Amino acid sequence: MGQYGAIWSDTGQYGAIPGSTGQYGAVRGDTGLYRSVWGDTGHYGAIWGSMGRDGLVHGNMEQYRAIQGDMGWYRAIWDRAVRGGTGRYGAIQRGTGQGPRWPPLADTAARPQSRRLRTEDLRDPDISKEIAVKMSRFHGMVMPFNKEPKWLFGTMERYLKQISELTFSEEGQLKKFNHLKAYNLQQEMRSLRELLEATPSPVVFCHNDVQEGNILLLAGHEASPSDKLMLIDFEYSSYNYRGFDIGNHFCEWVYNYTHGSWPYYKASPENYPSRQQQLHFIRHYLSEDSGRRGDTTHEEQARIEEEMLTEINRFALASHFFWGLWSILQAKISTIEFGYLDYAQSRFEAYFQHKAQCC
């Protein structure tokens, strides 16, 4: 079951999703408990701030459940992002400790016949439009969590410290690891922080991992032509910079995690959204946000769009950096057959190429 089988002991809603046990779920999904232990998840880091990760035991979420009433954080996000955000999911009931479920649980036929999006789906104009709308709604939520944007750089700082203590015994891995260390990542992150601190970006409640594997395409009576997608997997959700959430999504247009042979992913840099594709997304995002922003003139709209293009593409650098560091750590701790060090290399190469183009 990938991420959900690892975190929730029953399959619940997610067991009904075709393709949920695929390669993607194994790569970026099944490491949820590892991420909890390492302390990089939004609900341990940015949401609770001072809670930290002390005392957490791998595979044991009881301490966290006791603190927040048996996964109350997940239900709070689910209620607002899914049930409240679209008004169409009144049939979704809150879980009793195993995550949200589709009623009745025993009736598989009653569950929506949904699938996760594929990487190529992200480029579909209609799907991109709806993702923009969903993300805008998500960003408009006011959640009872720590609103300081500490998650991004706090997590990367922890990653760098852990990476500084890593060793690899296998010669091929060691060679790749040494090549990655030659990038002088500590200094590069200081440079990235300076750039992003000089880049205005609103702090909003972010999903932080809006990629194809975390978006369901609904089917049957659950879907409508204008409302057929559902965001899932809120383990990284936290208050963060808007530019990161959108920039991270744009980066995911490039990576296919269902590739059938080593290293079990395929990077296609040419699929990074063009200026027009980015503007298509931004305009629908802003259209959904218009109620909060008020009316704007044509000139103001054009200025906002240009500012967002700069904001998003600068924060896309943080996406490459974040997942590059994450992948180095996964190369050491994950048992999944995946080219983590190759993926890290791909993300850092994309980071420097993107930096040369946009900054």
What gap in Å lies between CA 157 and CA 151, rounded to an integer?
A: 10
- Interstrand relation of 255-256 and 238-241 (parallel, antiparallel or unpaired): unpaired
pLDDT band at 34 (very low <50, low <70, confident <90, very high): very low
**In the chain, % of residues over pLDDT 90:** 62
What gap in Å lies between CA 261 and CA 274, rounded to an integer?
A: 28
pLDDT band at 104 (very low <50, low <70, confident <90, very high): very low
Lowest-confidence pick of 5-14, 71-80, 241-250: 5-14
Summarize the confidence of residues 194-209 as an average pLDDT.
98
What gap in Å lies between CA 325 and CA 321, rounded to an integer?
A: 6
- In this predicted structure, the answer to whether residue 56 has a pLDDT above a threshold of 70 is no
The second-level CATH assignment, the architecture, of 108-358 is Alpha-Beta Complex (3.90)
What gap in Å lies between CA 126 and CA 107, rounded to an integer?
A: 32
Summarize the confidence of residues 20-36 as an average pLDDT.
39
Strand, helix or coil for residue 305: helix
What gap in Å lies between CA 214 and CA 118, rounded to an integer?
A: 10
pLDDT for the residue numbered 29? 44
pLDDT for the residue numbered 86? 38
- pTM value is 0.76
- Token look-up 């990487």 returns 119
Query: How does the average pLDDT of the chain come out, rounded?
Result: 77
- The 10 Å Cβ neighbour count of residue 236 is 25
The 8-class DSSP code of residue 93 comes to: B
What angle do the packed helices 185-197 and 298-333 form, to 10 degrees? 160
Residues near 270 by beta carbon (within 8 Å), at least 6 away in sequence: none
- Which of 24, 20, 64 lies closest to 41, judged by CA? 64
